[in-house]
Amino acid sequence: MELNKNIPNWILSMEKEDLEFIKNFVLNSGSLKEIAKHYEVSYPTIRLRLNRLIEKIKLSNEIGEEDFIKFIKTLTIEERISVEDAKLIIEKYKKERNEK
């Protein structure tokens, strides 16, 4: 029996620190102000981090499971390329694949 089969792909793509952030977000009823206090950073810093997590989740939901797309997804999750660049690359790849 595979343990990860019921866990959504977007959760599996998260790093431990991202999951910890999500847990703190939930435990603080979604209050970014409280999370900023918890992490001892400014509200805009927390907002930026949340926006990045949102983009990671969106990207994880949008892309398929082909090897090339998985590679681009990994680069994005590791923050080696931006989410915007990843989307452009994936769109171009899908367009060229569909033209064949």
Give domain limits for the chain: 14-55, 63-100
Each residue's pLDDT tens digit, 56-81: 888 776 655 577 887 888 888 788 99
**Which pTM does this prediction carry?**
0.59
Each residue's pLDDT tens digit, 7-30: 677 777 778 999 999 999 999 999
CA distances to 1, 9, 28, 56, 87 from 5, rounded to whole Å, are 9, 9, 29, 20, 26
